[in-house]
A and B are shown apart, each in its own frame.
Chain A
Amino acid sequence: MTDELEELGRRVSAAREAAEARGETFYQGASRVHLAAFPPRERWDDWVELSSRAWPAREEKHYMLVPTTCFNCESACGLLAYVDRESGQVRKFEGNPEHPGSRGRNCAKGPATINQVTDPDRILYPLRRSGPRGGGGWERISWDEALDALAARIRAALLESRQNEIMVHIGRPGEDGFTERVLASWGVDGHNSHTNVCSSGGRTGFQFWMGIDRPSPDHANAAVIYLISAHLEAGHYFNPHAQRITQARENGAKVIVVDTRLSNTATHADYWLSPQPGSEAAINLAIANHLIQTGAYDREFVRRWWNWAEYLTACHPQVPVTFEAFEEILSGLYAEFTFEFAAAESGIPAETLAEVADVVAAAGHRFSCHSWRSAAAGNLGGWQVSRTLFLISALLGAVATPGGTFPNAWNKFVPRPIHVPPHPGVWQELSWPLEYPLAQNEMSFLLPHFLKDGRGRLDTYFIRVYNPVWTNPDGLSWMEVLREESLVGCFVALTPTWNESAYFADYVLPMGVGSERHDTHSYEQYDGQWIAFRQPVLRAARARRGEPVADTREVNPGEVWEENEFWIELSWRIDPDGSLGIRRYYESVERPGEKLTVDEYYGWMFSHSVPGLPERAAAEGMTPLEWMRRYGAFEISRGQGAVHEQEVPSAELRDVSVDPFGRVYTSAPAPADPNIVPQGAPSPDDEGRRPAGVMIDGVVRRGFPTPSGRLEFWSSTLAGWGWPEHALPGYIRSHVHPSELAADQVVLLSTFRLPTQIHTRSANAKWLDELAHTNPVWIHPRDAARFGIARTGDLVRVETEIGYFVAKAWITEGIRPGVVACSHHMGRWRLDGGPRGAGAMTATVGLRRSPGGWAMERRAPAGPYRSADPDSQRIWWSDTGVHQNLTFAVHPDPISGMHCWHQAVRVRPAGPGDKHGDIAVDTAKAHEVYQRWLARTRPAGSVSPDGTRRPRWLMRPVKPAAAAFALPAGPAPGGQARAAGADGPVR
């Protein structure tokens, strides 16, 4: 080595010896050698690297390293922005080694954040439409104009008691609770989400078991990992989970993957089960039945923690309430779910299922599992996929054990903020209609149909990181409604980049990407709790250099803002004098009467609500906010363990009452808890005592946030709200069950993900677009022969119940015969004459009314174009896939409310007039399909056992005040739409 290099090494080497000699942190990397994975954190103010471009000339570059959080999916992995000290701009993003979930590592989407920052097509200034909606005319306006106009509208609506005409529709929240509290502060039940086109089905199954709607599998310590769908490369928390699954495999864990298509995850499975879509619950039940029949379940766990006594009392009043009697009944409950039955349903040989069941049985408490979207989001009754999956965990006693599956609330920490507004006093029936009293989340994707049906109107409708026209099924019905000013008075798109919905907006307000905004979040990625901080990195960099920035717009490109400051400013202008009672939630505590800043908001949160953080920061001579700005993430605890087993301290037990099944209520107030993580909120007893725990063998233990305090094998909620036949984990035949398909129909899996894209969120990342830009229809060779499709690349017409799309065929052994699959990331479009959109991924289309509805045709593919980024002229791909979601009708599950994505389709060779990307949709038919599915519901008006709209204990964003839960007087919209099934027995 040269002297020069040795000199450099002495100054800035991150290698172990050099770093440790300087008393600095050495970040050990995967290679386990003297090389560091990251620069020592003590040098993050001025880190010197050598330029890769000037190499081998040793040109030094000085960077300030500023942490933030990736916003390209929900995993919230840490990023470190390398802010060039000379230019003041971000040069690149690497992982943040201080982040306990992602541990410095990222997927392809992390480094690609820089593409989004430098995206030549991004929106830089607030825009207002000039001309008709969707006409493509835009004028630049100031933020003041936008804020004043919106504040005036919202203020007027609030003053005129039109609270339900204000709605904020959120795609991926990427944060914990800020926006929900904004709406609560306005007294508006206007939160709408994307969850019912995403994870509601998965959540529902977990919620009815444990009162908490997400699993937190401790993969790293598992002996057997059971995954429904592609959690190694595309599922929830894929990078954090892939790390831990791989760690477990290294230690000998077996991996079972249930995934109809050949995913990267299926590739790594010890057992890859490719089932007929919709049969997943039958497989789970066959495994459960095996555990029951062979006595391979944890009897003590089942006896202590299941609500079997409540079940026996309610459903088998003739038998004694003893565990032995329950076991006797249990042994018969799933007897029909033999391996042969599951084989017939799934198409997987019974011997394979038997082998898998033995592997599961051997796992004991070290059985981790995960089901999130996929099957639970694909099928009618898909929520039973996760409910039956958790049945296996509950039989094994692998609940909150090392290597087992935890309720997520125990591995998540949502710090209490500076202001907590009360529950709103209104009920938004457009999101929470009476037909769906048990819906896991807002019936978001039915909004256009509700508006068409005259159930209401919206005065001001915001979308945020959400592209309803593209993301939802039946996007053209959305477009029809969004174009109609009588239904949607003012449509505001908060977005960093153009999208298919923003084209129809009245205001397009640019918001920052992952490194340009503030958020906090905490996700269950292992048995521990952490919070992470997303921040505008240039703002943090300026602050670190002693140049505080008061407004994120000062550092963002153009006039790009962030939502938090926007909401504070908008709320202030809605209630400038405080007379509406809104302003106080946006006032500073330190400087009464003045506006709250994000610095104070997060500073207060980090100082008051994050245990251990103030001490940790003080030890380094920093305020908690400074510490978080510097390191980006903080681990609050590790090893939460079995919270349900914790004994309730006697101080909490005062004036106790115990119900016949052991639910313990107390008059003592709940101890203050800075963690306000969402979870079930079981009702108090008749005297108003709050539920504090559950009596297990004479000891009051914390239990689960369910009505019974136990794991609810039998759900009194489902039984009591009109669905007694589904109160136990069970198997509901899918709407795409083979018996529902015509001979020439196959199932289309339309939801599969790739590791390199994320919905509509990543199209503004050129590196990701280059890696994955099209979505051919996967077809098994046997089906291709059957349909007369000769070769990969040939055009096929895929016919759904409301239209068709024309795509290319990908003939592959990676899909079950009788099933076709199409990834959902692609098919982005822009209307001819409109703004460019994401240039690397957007085809220009024509959209016209046709006799049968709407017809879309591609006029120009993506291609090279001139921009500030020379790379845009190097775009070598033109095929950007097909927007299949437009051709799907809505399929709301009558219980969970989840859109059931799978489609029964006909696939045939494209006709002579068909062109790639063609789409035809009949929105009148779409409305008929909506009505058919609506008829499957059992509305609250007929099934509610207590005169409320919805069980109050169930989780719900922006939960309204108790009074708003009361069923409305008079005939309800859903009252007459009672389905035949609603006459079933109601206990």
Chain B
Amino acid sequence: MAETDLPSPRWAKLLDQSRCIGCHACTTACKSENEVPVGVTRTYVKSVDVGTFPQARRAFQVTRCNQCEDAPCVAACPTEAMYRRPDGIVDFDKRICIGCKACMAACPYDAIFINPEDHSAEKCNLCAHRLDIGLEPACVTVCPTEAIIVGDLGDPASEVSRVVSREPVQVRRPEKGTRPGVYYKGAHAATLDPLAARRPGGGLFAWATQGREPAGGRSPASQRAPQTVTSGHPGRGTSQAAALLSYDVPHQVPWGWRVSLYTWTKSVAAGGFAVPVLLAGAGYLGWGNDVVRWAAPLLALAFLAVTGALLVADLKHPARFYLIFTRRHWRSWLVRGAVILGGFGAIAAAYLAASLAGAGAGTARQGLGWAGLPLALAAAVYTAFLFGQAKGRDLWQSPLLAPHLAVQAALAGAAAVLPLLAWLAPGRAVTADQAVLAVAAGVHAALVAGEVAQPHATAHARLAVHEMTLGSQRLPFGISVVLTLAAVAAPWIGTPAAALALAGLLGYEHAYVQAGQRVPLA
């Protein structure tokens, strides 16, 4: 830095819960300043009733973006629409947001939402538009008890610096390694841990309801809109002291059925290409067999097309999907994945061209087949890294997720080609494929069993597994277990096992993708 340059400030915010009276002035001042629609919030005050009468209290948490130094949303954003300014503010540019919701999935605090008016992601940005003209953020200005202040951590004379350095302060979820720039003073453990407090029943909070509910009033959780995540622990909560969530806002699941389905179509594409090529390579099939020559590339291309269509359809700005390539942010696995899928699609297309060219291109096609294998594998497993960028979603942080996705691709591929083999190449290729299917199903079942049985280190992961197996996802999960186990018997059942395996896999992937997002983060 040149000597004449003023050092950029390092903005930090202090939320002093020892002064907060839970009045929600910050909530509406923010709505007003930033024109935030009904149904979404940049900031609000969560409250937890702690203790038992008469030793009880209501603990508050002003809940919002944490302005992380290592912001998972920034890493996950494919277009750098979400970015960190030199002064520490994690800001966003709605003009280049494609609405992929990767930032929402990535945020360990569930502080980002899609604005229903402009369909772009937004969150608290410390009122950067005010800071830049010398004004305090709207929530700071409005707060009756001066419980919210901002300051420059680089300026030791600032009040924020003094408190952060001299007083016991906390940040939310430090174990996520995000290095938040928002500090809490006097916050209660029962608010800082999103799973500390028990979720009340009956769709109620103390003076509000938990989320969209059907007309008529009473609404068991299962009847509420499927995309709503209600805060609080559905069981006992992790707090040793009695703790009941008394207020929170409705939260939405970032990724719905399209993303669940995409993981499945992608597995079919990858496996549908790789399994015939491997069968050919291992000598179970001739390279000229129709399954190898036509089915492999067509399965890959068709399912990649569906995959791409699903991904684009899931964007809140589908017309901006090209920004993934033109404004690509390499750290985002969404970008890397798009490139991998593109590369895999290109190889598959070339392979198909070679098939069309006929026998003369046989050698080239073999080469393309071998070259396609690593890309098929990458296409299958990159989602593990994409999900891994969702730092708050503990279920998705498993090191076994990548190999598991490879196994799922093998399962999907073996299943997808089985009826084709039975039709076009009866004989030992079918037997081999049935064996692959049986083994893949068995390994998949074992990995799932391990996932379920393994003692998870975090309450979040335990709750996610609970959501998958016994909670909101129990139906698809239960079906998937039955069907997958049935598919292990492929050598005996034959072709029908393919349908069982594919349906089972679809059920599992949906349960897994959704359960990972069903655990409250706020």
Contact = CB atoms under 8 A, between A and B. Distances in A.
A233 B23 contact: yes
Contacts, number: 299
B128 A33 contact: no
A693 to B, nearest CB: 39
B150 A33 contact: yes
A916 interface: yes
Nearest to A273: B54
B399 interface: no
A262 B59 CA distance: 11
A810 interface: yes
B131 A35 contact: yes
Interface in A256-304: 262-268, 272, 274
Interface stretch (B33-41, B335-343, B495-503): B33-41
B486 interface: no
Give the bracket for the number of chain B residues in contact with chain A: 35 or more
A57 B130 CA distance: 13
A878 B250 CA distance: 14
Nearest to A2: B132
Contacts of B203: 793, 879
B200 A810 contact: yes
A50 B143 contact: no
A778 to B, nearest CB: 8
Nearest to A860: B215
A73 to B, nearest CB: 12
Contacts of A870: 37, 117
A32 interface: yes
Contact of A107 (B23, B152, B211, B212): B23
Given A94-B141, A246-B19, A792 B49 contact: no
A826 B144 CA distance: 25
Contact of B148 (A15, A30, A35, A810): A30
B516 interface: no
Given A94-B142, A879-B213, A52 B19 contact: no
B136 interface: yes
A13 B132 CA distance: 8
Contact of B209 (A19, A112, A780, A877): A877
Nearest to B24: A108
Interface stretch (A374-382, A539-547, A663-671, A767-775): A767-775
A842 to B, nearest CB: 15
A39 interface: yes
Contact of B200 (A9, A239, A793, A861): A793
Given A30-B136, A774-B209, A870-B117, A264 B21 contact: yes
Given A31-B140, A33-B158, A14 B37 contact: no
A809 B204 CA distance: 9
A108 to B, nearest CB: 4
Contacts of A52: 33-35, 127, 129
Given A104-B141, A773-B209, A875-B38, A32 B149 contact: yes
Contacts of B128: 55-56
Given A111-B29, A262-B58, A770-B38, A876 B250 contact: yes
A404 interface: no
Contacts of B202: 791-794, 808-809
Contacts of B118: 53
Interface string B132-162: 1111101011111110111110010011100
A871 interface: yes
B147 to A, nearest CB: 8
B208 A106 contact: no
Contacts of A810: 200, 204, 206
Interface in A373-396: none
A31 B21 contact: no
Interface stretch (A811-819, A827-835, A896-904, A939-947): A811-819
Contacts of A33: 150-152, 155, 158-159
A9 B206 CA distance: 45
A37 interface: yes
A767 B59 contact: no
Contact of A767 (B31, B125, B132): B31
B412 interface: no
A449 B320 CA distance: 68
Contacts of A775: 207
Contact of B144 (A16, A18, A243): A243
A14 B57 contact: no
Given A39-B135, A242-B145, A916-B217, A106 B160 contact: no
A110 B217 contact: no
Contacts of A93: 32
Interface in B1-37: 19, 21-25, 27-29, 31-35, 37
A92 B33 contact: yes
A476 B484 CA distance: 64
Interface in A949-984: none
A774 B204 contact: yes
B217 A14 contact: no
A437 B150 CA distance: 56
A871 B38 contact: yes
B21 A265 contact: yes
A30 B15 CA distance: 12
Given A31-B159, A266-B57, A871-B37, A111 B25 contact: yes
A863 B211 contact: no
B166 interface: no
A804 interface: no
Interface in A870-917: 870-871, 874-879, 915-917
B29 A106 contact: yes
B149 A36 contact: no
B437 interface: no
Nearest to A772: B207
B144 A106 contact: yes
Contacts of B51: 813
A232 interface: yes
A817 B25 CA distance: 32
Contacts of B145: 242-243, 246
A749 to B, nearest CB: 14
A820 interface: no
Given A29-B136, A112-B28, A776-B204, A915 B146 contact: no
Contacts of A816: 53-54
A630 to B, nearest CB: 20
Contacts of B216: 861
Contacts of B37: 870-871, 874
A49 interface: yes
A817 B215 CA distance: 33
A738 interface: no
Given A766-B38, A874-B116, A108 B141 contact: no
Contact of A808 (B19, B49, B204): B204
B244 interface: yes
Given A793-B203, A915-B217, A768 B32 contact: no
Given A37-B141, A232-B21, A770-B38, A111 B217 contact: no
Nearest to A50: B129
A36 B136 contact: yes
A350 interface: no
Nearest to A795: B218
Contacts of A793: 200-204, 218
Interface in B54-70: 54, 56-60
A833 to B, nearest CB: 19
Q: Which 7 A-B pairs have the closest CB atoms?
A: A793-B202, A15-B134, A30-B146, A13-B134, A755-B23, A111-B32, A31-B149
Given A33-B152, A767-B31, A770-B208, 11 more contacts: A8-B133, A37-B141, A49-B130, A53-B118, A105-B25, A105-B141, A107-B23, A267-B60, A792-B200, A793-B202, A876-B39
19 contacts: A5-B132, A8-B133, A19-B134, A31-B140, A55-B125, A56-B91, A94-B141, A94-B142, A111-B25, A232-B21, A239-B144, A267-B59, A268-B21, A755-B21, A755-B22, A756-B23, A792-B202, A793-B203, A860-B215
